[in-house]
Structure 1
Amino acid sequence: MHQQITTVSTFVPATTAEDRQYQGRKIAERTEDLEAHARTGWALAHAATIPGPEGVMFVDTLTRTTEQ
């Protein structure tokens, strides 16, 4: 068996009240990316957030085990 590790990074910008739809779309994109990985056997092992002045970076670590 062989374990694989990958990361998915998503930047969600800080927004004003009128830009909340854009922020919501970025969060939805993150969910879609994670769901797509899950369909191919990846599992979420860890999620980290890195806040900054212009927004938040989500770094999701995914793992899967394959037979060799």
Structure 2
Amino acid sequence: MKYSFADYGDIVKGTDMLDTTSSRQINKRLTELLNASKNGPANVGSWWRKNKTHVWHAMVCGYQR
């Protein structure tokens, strides 16, 4: 689970080591959305820092051992 979380962070920030087509598309779309927002953060890195806790909680909300 923690590796998936780190992978999401890398994809969002554009630092994914695999650099797949889908990760580039996700990063591009997120950048477009943030640029279109008047109140959004300046870049995807700051968006990730602001929202990573919410992403983590969304990932573990239904997780059971």
Alignment TM-score, normalising by the size of structure 2: 0.36
User: Between Structure 1 and Structure 2, which shows a larger proportion of helix residues?
Assistant: 2
Alignment TM-score, normalising by the size of structure 1: 0.34
Higher alpha-carbon Rg: 1
Higher RCO (CA 8 Å, separation ≥ 6 residues) = 1
User: Between Structure 1 and Structure 2, which shows a larger proportion of strand residues?
Assistant: 1
